[in-house]
Amino acid sequence: MKSMEKIVSLCKRRGFLFQSSEIYGGVQGFWDYGPLGVELKRNLKDAWWSDMIRGHNNLLVPEGAPSSYEMVGLDCTIIMHPQVWKNSGHYDLFHDHMVDCRESKKRYRFDQVRGRWCQRGETKVFVSTLAEAEHEADEVRRRAMKFFKLRAKNADELTVGDESLTLDRLDDTKSVLAPDAKSLDTLTDPREFNLMFKTTLGALGGEDDVTFLRPETAQGIFVNFKNVLDSSRVKVPFGIGQVGKSFRNEITPRNFTFRSREFEQMEIEFFCPPDQSQQWYRYWRDRRLAWYTELGLSSESLIMREHHTEELAHYSVGTADIEYAFPFLPPGEYGELEGIAHRGDFDLRSHMEGKLDPNSPEGQPMQVELNEHGKPKYRGSGKDLSYRDEVTNEKFVPHVIEPSAGADRGALAFLCEAYTEDQAPDDKGNMQTRTVMKLHPRLAPLKAAVFPLVKKDGMPEIAKEIYGNLKQHFNVFYDDKGAVGRRYRRQDEAGTPYCITVDGDSVSEGTVTIRDRDSLEQTRVKIDDVVSEITQRMS
């Protein structure tokens, strides 16, 4: 059975993921990728870059697209001019609601603490916990028993509600037992908390020198829009892609790497004429959903969820999320992998004119926010970020469709999907349960492993030569330790699609076996054909 506990344990044991600064007790919300993890995440980012940016064919009209289009890349800095964050809206609006516990001194995100109503006699208490979804009901019961001072033999005096609710769904928090508290009503009212990490430019560090680590890579693209137009001769419609780190001071980082404080994004800002924006929005929603299934996420575990109006981010006139059924969520719930937002002309106009008022009446162009003297409250760049169509001579501010994916959430989803327990024969031919990571070959950290059956009789020499030849093309592993069955098991856990074994026949006949990770099928091929065979299977 797949469970988050087993996946987390495999990730640590096999070197996919480690807690950051673990020898000092770790730091919440930060994760390090181990030798296998770094390859997986790099493969994911490379697949994205290759499929969306470098490999995109400018001359064809992709299925479902209104026309052909161009794609280029950027790599912008993490620290940018402070004015960027004022005009983007992040300075004023990028916050979550948090509550503090007066007893435990801990801080929680209001919409993330879950719990249930528990009743003994006339007394009804909302018992909350931060436990993972799969343990939540048990943990609530355990805390409620303790709160009501009930022994196991009196367990039937306690009623625990069926419905799991988050704190933001309650009318008031007076009857709440906070996750780390022993008494009721210890939570403050919810307050806003800006999620950007502050930092200071230079040694003097005055108020004007305060800036932020970027909370999204998108703004680097917007502020370079004109530079890209002028330097690369791209024409609207076109997209700019960027992969890079973003930082958010999440109040309650949780669920392994799902909500981290430092993470990587793979973002596209796609610039199009306003009258085509809905068509491009639909195109990108379909294109991005298909990308995940092509790389191995099952369509039963993925949904496309259109946001309700009240959920929309301050800049968005329409957003759909691609969501995945992560195993840490209760059945029927999904977590966001990627958002595809129709941002209108909000960003380019904000960087031209100063921060725009997101509360402008629906259907009206957004207004520049004014101060009490009737002057723009935030200074724009003053640069003209509009576009003139060479054919029609029409001038407009392009609308933007933004497919914004998380590389860490993607990697986590592929790890969760890949985790499989099935039956496979051991060295003696007895069927045993094996753990295998069925990662798509493009994503697998190691593409093949080479084993000499024994460390003598000319086998290591042949195996090392095959390893050397494959290494020129792929990430390959050489293993001569232990029984072959055990070596297979180690590679199954690492997600290696192919294992090549050199045996007696390799010495006498010049052939090896290639074992397929998923079908367990073993095929004999000529040693000279190994590289072409693996290349062909990989493609």
DSSP string covering 7-40, please? HHHHHHHTTSEEETTGGGT--TT-EEE-HHHHHH
Q: Rounded CA gap, 321 and 491, in Å? A: 34
Q: Rounded CA gap, 185 and 142, in Å? A: 19
Query: Closest CB to ligand GAP among 402 and 417?
Result: 402
Residue 184: DSSP 8-state: B
Query: Closest CB to ligand GAP among 314 and 377?
Result: 314
Q: Which position among 70, 92, 100, 336 is part of the footprint of ligand GAP (CB under 6 A)?
A: 336
Query: What are the counts of helices (DSSP H) followed by strands (DSSP E) for the chain?
Result: 14, 30
Q: How many of the chain's residues bind ligand GAP (CB under 6 A)?
A: 19
Q: Are strands 114-120 and 158-160 parallel, antiparallel or unpaired?
A: antiparallel
Give yes or no for residue 39 binding ligand GAP (CB under 6 A).
no
On whether 225 is known to bind a ligand per the annotation, the reply is no
> Letter for the amino acid at 362?
E
On whether 109 is known to bind a ligand per the annotation, the reply is yes
On whether 405 is known to bind a ligand per the annotation, the reply is yes
Residue 76: DSSP 8-state: -
In sequence order, the 6+-apart residues with CB closer than 8 A to the CB of 371 are: 377
Q: Are 437 and 445 in contact (CB under 8 A)?
A: no
Q: Which position among 242, 404, 491, 506 is part of the footprint of ligand GAP (CB under 6 A)?
A: 404
On whether 267 is known to bind a ligand per the annotation, the reply is yes
Q: How far is the CB of 276 from ligand GAP (least distance, A)?
A: 21
Q: How far is the CB of 76 from ligand GAP (least distance, A)?
A: 13
Q: Which position among 241, 406, 452, 495 is part of the footprint of ligand GAP (CB under 6 A)?
A: 406
Q: How many CB atoms lie within 10 A of CB 109?
A: 22
On whether 369 is known to bind a ligand per the annotation, the reply is no
On whether 250 is known to bind a ligand per the annotation, the reply is yes
Query: Closest CB to ligand GAP among 265 and 506?
Result: 265
Q: Which position among 136, 369, 408, 533 is part of the footprint of ligand GAP (CB under 6 A)?
A: 408
Cα 93–chain centre separation = 22
Token pair recorded at residue 364: 């009206």
Q: Which position among 132, 216, 345, 479 is part of the footprint of ligand GAP (CB under 6 A)?
A: 216
Q: Rounded CA gap, 462 and 458, in Å? A: 7
Radius of gyration of the chain (CA): 27
On whether 248 is known to bind a ligand per the annotation, the reply is yes
* Angle at 74 (CA atoms; ends 70, 77), nearest 5 degrees: 160
Residues 367-394 as b or e (16 or more Cβ within 10 Å = b): ebbeeeeeeeebebbeeebebeeeeeee
Query: Closest CB to ligand GAP among 46 and 457?
Result: 46
> Letter for the amino acid at 50?
S
What residues form DSSP beta bridges with 335? 324
Query: Closest CB to ligand GAP among 136 and 264?
Result: 264
Query: Closest CB to ligand GAP among 248 and 349?
Result: 248
Query: Closest CB to ligand GAP among 30 and 148?
Result: 30
Q: Are 239 and 268 in contact (CB under 8 A)?
A: yes
Query: Closest CB to ligand GAP among 260 and 277?
Result: 260
Give yes or no for residue 190 binding ligand GAP (CB under 6 A).
no
Kindly report the backbone phi and psi dihedral angles of residue 88, in degrees, each rounded to the nearest multiple of 5, phi listed first.
Answer: -75, -20
Q: How far is the CB of 310 from ligand GAP (least distance, A)?
A: 16
In sequence order, the 6+-apart residues with CB closer than 8 A to the CB of 308 are: none
Give yes or no for residue 355 binding ligand GAP (CB under 6 A).
no
On whether 380 is known to bind a ligand per the annotation, the reply is no
Tell me the residue number closest to ligand GAP, measured at CB.
Answer: 406
Q: How far is the CB of 484 from ligand GAP (least distance, A)?
A: 39
Q: How far is the CB of 383 from ligand GAP (least distance, A)?
A: 21
Residue 309: DSSP 8-state: G
Query: Closest CB to ligand GAP among 336 and 465?
Result: 336
What residues form DSSP beta bridges with 295? none
Query: Closest CB to ligand GAP among 216 and 353?
Result: 216
Q: Which position among 113, 228, 337, 450 is part of the footprint of ligand GAP (CB under 6 A)?
A: 337
Q: Which position among 39, 338, 369, 479 is part of the footprint of ligand GAP (CB under 6 A)?
A: 338
Q: Are 318 and 303 in contact (CB under 8 A)?
A: no
On whether 461 is known to bind a ligand per the annotation, the reply is no
Token pair recorded at residue 66: 């209104």
CB-count burial class (<10 Å; 0-12, 13-18, 19+) for 180: middle
Q: Rounded CA gap, 88 and 378, in Å? A: 10
On whether 197 is known to bind a ligand per the annotation, the reply is no
Query: Closest CB to ligand GAP among 86 and 259?
Result: 259
Q: Which position among 11, 218, 295, 411 is part of the footprint of ligand GAP (CB under 6 A)?
A: 218
Query: Closest CB to ligand GAP among 132 and 267?
Result: 267
CB-count burial class (<10 Å; 0-12, 13-18, 19+) for 162: exposed
Q: Are 399 and 346 in contact (CB under 8 A)?
A: no
Site string for ligand GAP, 255-274 (x = CB under 6 A): ----xx--x-x-x-------
Token pair recorded at residue 332: 């029927």
Site string for ligand GAP, 231-250 (x = CB under 6 A): -----------------x-x
The one segment of 54-62, 72-80, 404-412, 428-436 that binds ligand GAP by CB under 6 A: 404-412
Q: Which position among 237, 339, 495, 497 is part of the footprint of ligand GAP (CB under 6 A)?
A: 339
Q: Are 480 and 460 in contact (CB under 8 A)?
A: yes
On whether 388 is known to bind a ligand per the annotation, the reply is no
Binding region:
109, 216, 248-250, 258-267, 336-337, 402-409
Per the annotation, where are the binding residues for substrate?
A: 109, 216, 263-267, 402-406
Known binding-site positions for ATP: 248-250, 258-263, 336-337, 406-409
Residue numbers at the binding site for ligand GAP (CB under 6 A): 216, 218, 248, 250, 259-260, 263, 265, 267, 336-339, 402, 404-406, 408-409
